[in-house]
């Protein structure tokens, strides 16, 4: 009888330990991480050892366990609960890893899009700068051409003026005529300025 009592007490003690550990182990179903933590691995190992101890302890023979059918049922139930909790933790971990992978994929996709947008912007800016440089080079080239053309025109006009002056100077009496024309212009300018001054004085004094 004492042996039966001892066996039963041992079974009850192991069942209580198992229930306590299963309760702690079940907490990992709601606080799962992407990888098993050290505490989770340690707790799972302890539960597995206790359940196997109940199943294979030499002091608890098959015949005696049949006498304690209720404890056998509890053992099976604990194995089932243990498997269920492990499965729940694994499912939560898979979901967490899936969400993490999806998040990483989205971030990588956004980063790649940003890189592509930056490259497109840089390429567009490069094309715009090249166009501006080409336009500037074209303006500078045209400016040099215009300057060269003006210099050539100026040289041509200077040469023509010199030739005309030389030609005129060879005509007899032309210098006298030109001198008279210049003198007449100076005289006309003097007369015109005097007339304007007189008109201004008349307007000033007749106000």
- Look at residue 198 and tell me whether its pLDDT is greater than 80: yes
In the chain, DSSP assigns E strands to none
Q: At what angle do helices 69-169 and 174-205 cross, to 10 degrees?
A: 110
Measure CA of the first residue to CA of the last residue in the chain; give whole Å: 153
| pLDDT value at residue 58 | 44
Q: Are 25 and 48 in contact (CB under 8 A)?
A: no
Q: Are 31 and 91 in contact (CB under 8 A)?
A: no
The pLDDT > 70 percentage for the chain reads 77
Q: Are 54 and 14 in contact (CB under 8 A)?
A: yes
Confidence category of residue 2, pLDDT binned at 50, 70, 90: very low
Note the Cα 95 to chain centre separation in Å: 29
Q: What is the mean pLDDT of residues 169-186?
A: 68
Domain assignments of the chain as residue spans, ordered by start: 2-103
Q: What is the mean pLDDT of residues 7-23?
A: 83
Distance CA 73, CA 81 (A): 12
Least confident of 31-35, 160-164, 199-203: 160-164
Q: Are 35 and 2 in contact (CB under 8 A)?
A: no
User: Kindly report the CA angle at 75 between 5 and 60, in degrees rounded to 5?
Assistant: 40
The pTM for the full model equals 0.45
- 3-state SS string for 116-149: HHHHHHHHHHHHHHHHHHHHHHHHHHHHHHHHHH
Question: Residue 61: left if φ>0, alpha if ψ -120 to 50, beta else—which one?
Answer: beta
Instruction: Give per-residue pLDDT as tens, 83-119.
Output: 898 888 888 888 888 888 888 888 888 888 787 777 7
Which residues are CB-neighbours of 26 under 8 A, at least 6 positions away? 85, 88
């Amino acid at each position: 009888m004492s042996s039966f009592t001892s066996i039963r007490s041992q079974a009850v003690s192991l069942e209580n330990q198992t229930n306590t550990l299963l309760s702690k182990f079940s907490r990992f179903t709601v606080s799962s991480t992407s990888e098993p933590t050290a505490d989770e691995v340690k707790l799972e190992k302890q539960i597995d050892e206790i359940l196997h101890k109940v199943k294979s302890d030499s002091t608890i023979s098959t015949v005696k366990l049949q006498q304690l059918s209720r404890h056998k049922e509890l053992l099976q139930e604990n194995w089932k609960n243990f498997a269920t909790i492990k499965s729940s933790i694994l499912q939560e971990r898979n979901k967490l890893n899936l969400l993490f992978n999806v998040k990483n994929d989205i971030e990588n996709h956004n980063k790649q899009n940003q890189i592509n947008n930056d490259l497109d912007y840089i390429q567009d800016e490069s094309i715009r700068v090249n166009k501006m440089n080409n336009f500037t080079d074209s303006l500078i080239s045209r400016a040099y051409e215009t300057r060269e053309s003006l210099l050539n025109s100026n040289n041509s006009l200077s040469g023509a003026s010199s030739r005309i002056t030389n030609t005129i100077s060879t005509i007899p009496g032309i210098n006298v005529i030109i001198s008279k024309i210049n003198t007449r212009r100076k005289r006309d300018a003097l007369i015109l300025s005097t007339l304007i001054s007189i008109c201004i004085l008349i307007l000033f004094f007749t106000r």
